[in-house]
Structure 1
Amino acid sequence: MLVLIVAIGTYGDVLPFIAAGAELARRGHEVALCAPAPFGDAARRAGLDFAPAMSAEEYEKRFGHPTFWTPWRGARRLFRQAARSLPETYRFVAERRRPGDTVVVGSTLAIGARVAFDAFGDPLISVHLSPLTIQTRHDAPRTPGLPMPRWLHAGLKWELQLGSDAYFVNPVVLPRLNAFRATLGLGPVQRLRYWWNSPVRVAAMFPSWFHPAQPDWPAQTVQIGFPEAGREGGKARGLDPALEAFLAAGEPPVLVTFGSTRRDTERLYRVAIAACARLGRRCLALSQTPIEDGGEGRADVHVARYAPLPEVLPRCAAIVHHGGVGTMAQAFAAGVPQLVAPLAFDQADHAIRVAKLGCGAAFRTGWFDERRAARLLGVLLRSERVRARCAEVAAACDGPGALGRLCDEIESLAPARAAGRQVDVRP
């Protein structure tokens, strides 16, 4: 079977698809990935054929721009980039598909793969990594820049979501999307966040204890869990000797990271490092860019561009991060307390859920200063209750199992197995 995977996003968004592709290749399938060019080396190390959805320069321009990591402007840039990638991701499927022997896997923003389904009908599974990507009238995830208090009536929450779509999401994407569809003889899409779900199968890659299935989710949705992703296709295998020496030289440090892309987070790093110093804690900072006055050269601070989180986090006392789904899932699996300062997108919703689970605290980025960060971090590090709750959640994590179940779902869509299945292909 040929599996064509289309994934758009940053490392936390794309690595799960590389991991799934590697597992499918081990099962004997032919696998190709279309993703931003910076993921090419990781994909090839995992044994996957690779085609770029955008150049490295375009990736840096779009995902590394400072305004990308703000709630409203960032979301507009994200959706605009998904629309710009449409021709490349569509061609990837159109040119490589083998009729009767192909399954397509698409990330949330892989709208070219979704168009290809409408054009050709090859089985498609939409893989959503975050609760925010599946709309609901019930336990609605926190929308960035759109507060929805718990006491707000469900009908009003739904109207707010539809309004966000109508005035914010759809105008950015639908003109380009529908113009492209018209060239293929396909009808227009009316609402992006309804249409982007495959009519065949939708995989919710987060566990029910994080966000339970909702009664109005698409009927074809299966809830699986956080997939193990950090051990496949990372930037390097094993730890850098200098990092290994730092970890071995003293008590477990506090890990600080604000994601895999270049952006204006230098102040957040400095604050977090200073908060660790105030508590007398060692600090490991993972940053793509240098941190001015960040403590480099001090024995109690180590700054690195990258480290594999599955190997590093179990050796850390806590983590301060931005709330990206990949980082958060790895922290859950490692059983370490989390101090989350969300920047944009689904991160505020994740931060709230971390706090509700008793595994950490949420912190508004605008209020993130040394004194407040040190106070909250100190509480998390001292709390026996938080430590016990983190251990309980870690025991509930099953990254390898979730990855395997995702691959089982993909295999179940093999055309020979799915022969005769009727699907609803309305846009």
Structure 2
Amino acid sequence: MAIGSAGDLFPMLKIALALRTRGHRISFLAPEQHRPYVEQAGLAFHGVAVDEAVLDDPRLWHARHGFGVVWRATRGVAAALLPFVEALPVSEPCVLLVHPLALAEADLCRAARPDIRIAAAFLAPSNLPTVYDPLVMGPLTVPRWVPRAARRWLWRQLGQRLLDPVVLPGLNRARRLRGMPPLRNALGYLFQVADLSLALFPAWFGATQPDWPQPLLHAEFPLYDPDPAAPFSAELVAFLAAGEAPVVVTPGTGNRQAAAVFRAALEALVQQGRRAIFLTPFASQLPADLPASVLWQPYVPLRKLLPHCAAAIHHGGIGTTAELLRAGLPQIVIPFAHDQFDNGARVSALGVGAVLPASRLSTARLQHLLERVLSSRSSGVHARAIAHRFELQADLDSVCTALTRLPL
């Protein structure tokens, strides 16, 4: 089960296809808008309708309130898991590989069918809370000198104030209907549900922490291109041939509240005389009358586009971040909410880019960072060294083996 945007979908598709190659039957549950991707891959798809009005909710990209918006918006998708599983033949062994936002529903499935096993797919390090360094809690970076007791207190406060009021009321109602005891703590509960936790990022990007759930298996970034043979549009081919390598600007496929990013990026790039490609399916957030030095495209696979580019300005989603690391390009991360702050901090720590929180975005700051990143010899050296690690990546055999060996 995948929940969220294309960045959440593609890693699960990559694993699903690897499992199918091994002869396993795959059923894929996801938001209905992902049907073309899943059916194109030849997998049995079970779509769930999602109200896309949530994309216009101004709290969606708020550092504090974003989780609540996402949780409420995804309950309909996650709720589809239980009736689907209940309809499966009881005699058929079944493993659920789910996004962390569906762990509570997966646990309800296991209550109905105790033989079911659950694996959680954690796409980014910040999906797994820890009291160890590096500790980034939204826009707050906790200094290394803060003792662990204080860090545990911070997590308790975060859970009690932001998570429990959102998660527990609906979850406890569902548990009560099935004769299950109520929960008092959402954070502690959710990370004890899975029989196996998959960290779908390499240890060099986010090393295993002592307080992460076990058993846990690290994988490489399971990057997926839905149509690697798709040709560029004629206008993109002409644009790339007409001048120097451009800077890619993208706030992600699900963000239609990024007008300020495109506005600041346009001003900064024009002042520096740089060319750019603006990527977004939502053209309404673009500045009017883009100059000839800037091309808008609704979607281009990053894996194919990035080798033609000089750098990227993006939101810090884990899929975009990983694609840029693979391409060996310097990057500027403009985090809004969710895992983006932590991903940006890791990009900075790797020496391949810089971070400018959306709340501090200005043309002058962005222009300064862009000049620094593009002129830095060390950024290029570090970026190429990171890209070389992708050439050495293993396949998904260890992930598939771990999933198929879960005791049933």
| 1:338–1:399 distance in 2 versus 1, CA, 3 Å | farther
Q: Is the 8 A contact 1:205 1:226 kept in 2?
A: yes
Q: Is the 8 A contact 1:286 1:307 kept in 2?
A: yes
The alignment partner of 1:238 has SS state of coil
Q: Is the 8 A contact 2:257 2:285 kept in 1?
A: no
1:132 paired residue number: 126
Offset at residue 144 of structure 1 (A)? 1.6
Give 1:18-417 correspondences, 5 Å limit: 18-55=13-50, 58=51, 60-96=52-88, 98-111=90-103, 112-121=105-114, 122-139=116-133, 141-144=135-138, 146-197=140-191, 198-229=193-224, 231-232=225-226, 237-290=230-283, 294=287, 296=289, 298-397=291-390, 401=394, 403-413=396-406
Offset at residue 292 of structure 1 (A)? 6.3
| 1:408–1:272 distance in 2 versus 1, CA, 3 Å | farther
Q: Is the 8 A contact 1:270 1:291 kept in 2?
A: no
| 1:359–1:118 distance in 2 versus 1, CA, 3 Å | farther
Q: Is the 8 A contact 1:106 1:114 kept in 2?
A: no
C-alpha distance in 1 between matches for 2:219 and 2:132: 20
Identity value in percent = 30
Task: Report the RMSD for the aligned CA atoms in angstroms.
Answer: 2.2
C-alpha distance in 2 between matches for 1:404 and 1:398: 16
Q: Which amino acid aligns with 1:381?
A: L
| 1:16–1:398 distance in 2 versus 1, CA, 3 Å | farther
Offset at residue 330 of structure 1 (A)? 0.7
The alignment partner of 1:35 has SS state of strand
Q: Is the 8 A contact 1:142 1:346 kept in 2?
A: no
C-alpha distance in 1 between matches for 2:400 and 2:273: 45
Offset at residue 126 of structure 1 (A)? 0.5
Q: Is the 8 A contact 1:18 1:233 kept in 2?
A: no
C-alpha distance in 1 between matches for 2:155 and 2:384: 35
C-alpha distance in 1 between matches for 2:89 and 2:220: 29
* Worse-superposed segment, 178-187 or 291-300: 291-300
C-alpha distance in 2 between matches for 1:385 and 1:115: 50
Offset at residue 96 of structure 1 (A)? 3.1
Q: Which amino acid aligns with 2:184?
A: Q
Q: Which amino acid aligns with 2:20?
A: A
Offset at residue 187 of structure 1 (A)? 2.6
Q: Is the 8 A contact 2:132 2:148 kept in 1?
A: yes
* Worse-superposed segment, 80-89 or 195-204: 80-89
| 1:286–1:344 distance in 2 versus 1, CA, 3 Å | same
Offset at residue 267 of structure 1 (A)? 1.6
C-alpha distance in 2 between matches for 1:123 and 1:292: 43
1:105-139 CA-to-partner distances (Å, cap 9, x unmatched) read 01111132232123313121111011112122222
How many residues align? The count is 405
| 1:382–1:249 distance in 2 versus 1, CA, 3 Å | same
Unaligned ranges ≥5, structure 1: 1-5, 420-427
Offset at residue 407 of structure 1 (A)? 2.7
C-alpha distance in 2 between matches for 1:399 and 1:276: 35
| 1:382–1:98 distance in 2 versus 1, CA, 3 Å | farther
| 1:185–1:322 distance in 2 versus 1, CA, 3 Å | same
Q: Is the 8 A contact 1:228 1:402 kept in 2?
A: no
Unaligned ranges ≥5, structure 2: none
C-alpha distance in 2 between matches for 1:85 and 1:293: 30
Normalised TM-score (structure 1): 0.88
1:142-182 CA-to-partner distances (Å, cap 9, x unmatched) read 12255523321121111111211122101211111121122
* Worse-superposed segment, 183-192 or 106-115: 183-192
C-alpha distance in 2 between matches for 1:94 and 1:139: 41
1:425 paired residue number: none
Offset at residue 209 of structure 1 (A)? 1.4
| 1:209–1:106 distance in 2 versus 1, CA, 3 Å | same
Q: Is the 8 A contact 2:59 2:65 kept in 1?
A: yes
C-alpha distance in 1 between matches for 2:138 and 2:302: 26
The alignment partner of 1:127 has SS state of strand
The alignment partner of 2:378 has SS state of helix
Q: Is the 8 A contact 1:114 1:196 kept in 2?
A: no
C-alpha distance in 1 between matches for 2:72 and 2:385: 40
C-alpha distance in 2 between matches for 1:365 and 1:377: 15
Offset at residue 406 of structure 1 (A)? 2.6
